[in-house]
Amino acid sequence: MPERIVILGAGHAAAQAIDTLRRRGHRGSIVLVGDEPHLPYQRPPLSKKYLAGTHERSRLLIRQARYYSERAIETRLGRRALQIDRRTQRARLDDGSDLAYDALLIATGSRARALTVPGADLDGVRYLRTMADVDSLRTGMESARRIVIIGGGYIGLEVAATCRQRGLAVTVLETQDRVMKRVVSEETSAAFTAEHLRNGVNIICGAGSLEIASHAGTQQVRAVVCDGCEHEADIVLIGVGAAAAQELACDAGLECDNGIVVDLHGRTSDASIYAAGDCTSHPSARYGGYVRLESVDNAFEQATTAALNMLGEPAEHDSVPWFWSEQFDLKLTITGLASGHDTVVVRGDPTSRCFSVCYLRGNELLAVESVGNSKDAIAARRLIAARSHLEPHHLANPACGLDRLPANSRPAN
């Protein structure tokens, strides 16, 4: 069992790893390094309740400061790891200090993708990934009347809903032909588009030739020019996805490919180094090949697995992925991954604000998108985990709940 464990990154995965290590009896030292000045905090509320001002900063913390002190966790906050020396098993920080480790967990998460268009560096252009990003955005919103959001994914649409509820005029520019195209079906995309339109959000899909313009003689945002049309803005939020924060691992010579490559145990190509969360690419027998997931649930599950293996308790990470988004009062839950499907079944009326979209491959249930349908979302996780084979005509009947399928549709024991 390693005596000294160092964790680089202070997000959901780091918090869960610490909890698992101490609960499972690790009595050695644990050092937590985070480049933000905050203890690990929840990220999902950033674009919703925290941005809206209904969540105080203290409520974001996954655990309060007392938790870490009571468990003798050494914290190095506001510090960035610059280098991992695998030969000497030391991590060098930006203050010049070195941390020796017997086992190292990289939990650096992901970072917002930068948009490289003219004017992207103007004052008033924002990204949303950290608490500081939201604080800056909230300050700008106090005097703003109009916001243009570039990107119609989860973050863009969640911020659009929050800003609209705070009274701002909101325009969303999406380069694809529909919002959330990378992650949801046409039916789900249409349902959320309709919800935003009902609430006064202006959504423009197929947006191209973007440029951010400033007021004459200043560096202050004035408008976003899209296909020759100007959309006035006091603030521009860029939400065009996220990339794995893998540079530290790559520089150390660890295998990286759209994330830090780990095995089912959370171990990297170096037996003393583990990784967990958004920064990783891990194998999935269920979906084939390697996947990189940006979700709180995956961070918790993978960090638990890595921590157990650090302590010599064999464990494998193979849980069913789970994601969610809230926009206005409409909730989306995605269970599983749809990649590789050959059949799509819609349960219920997509215009009813309560329906599900099921993805199958050879009648095996791979994924379910549930809009306003928590029962389907809960049942889907169990069925997908069991690799259930279901008849499409049974799935298509919304009166037959996923949690009470006909006997011939249930997975064999």
| Domain boundary, last residue among 213, 238, 263 | 238
Residues 197 and 279 in one domain: no
Rounded Cα distance between 358 and 369, Å, is: 7
What is the distance, to the nearest Å, from the Cα of residue 285 to the centroid of all Cα atoms in its chain?
22
Q: Where are the beta strands (DSSP E) in 229-354?
A: 229-232, 235-238, 242-244, 260-261, 273-275, 280-283, 290-291, 322-327, 330-336, 343-347
| Domain boundary, last residue among 238, 260, 294 | 238
Residues 210 and 137 in one domain: yes
What is the pLDDT, as a whole number, of residue 412? Answer: 42
Count of domains for the chain:
3
Residues 106 and 255 in one domain: yes
CATH number for the domain harbouring residue 53:
3.50.50.60
pLDDT digits (tens, 9 = 90+) for 230-261: 999 999 999 999 999 999 999 999 999 999 99
Tokens of 343: 């059949």
- Write the DSSP symbol of residue 412: P
For the chain, the C-alpha Rg in angstroms (whole number) is: 23
What is the pLDDT, as a whole number, of residue 51? Answer: 97
Asked whether residue 120 is assigned to any structural domain, the reply reads no
CB 342 within 8 A of CB 137: no
Residue 170 buriedness (CB in 10 A; 0-12 / 13-18 / 19+)? buried
Asked whether residue 324 is assigned to any structural domain, the reply reads no
Residues 231 and 129 in one domain: yes
Mean pLDDT (the chain) is 95
Asked whether residue 316 is assigned to any structural domain, the reply reads no
What is the pLDDT, as a whole number, of residue 179? Answer: 98
Judged by DSSP in three states, 159 sits in helix
For 80-153, where are the alpha helices, taking DSSP H only? 131-141
Q: Taking the alpha carbons of 60, 61, 62, 66 in that order, is the dihedral positive or negative? A: negative
**Exposure on the CB side of residue 154, measured as CA atoms within 13 A:** 24
CATH number for the domain harbouring residue 374:
3.30.390.30
Residues 204 and 348 in one domain: no
Residues 155 and 89 in one domain: no
Q: Which residues contact 82 (CB under 8 A, 6 or more apart)?
A: 92, 93, 94, 248
Asked whether residue 318 is assigned to any structural domain, the reply reads no
Structural domain including 337 reads 329-409
Residues 192 and 207 in one domain: yes
Tokens of 96: 């010049």
Residues 299 and 333 in one domain: no
pLDDT digits (tens, 9 = 90+) for 351-410: 999 999 999 999 999 999 999 999 999 999 999 999 999 999 989 999 888 877 653 444
* Mean pLDDT across 257-284: 98
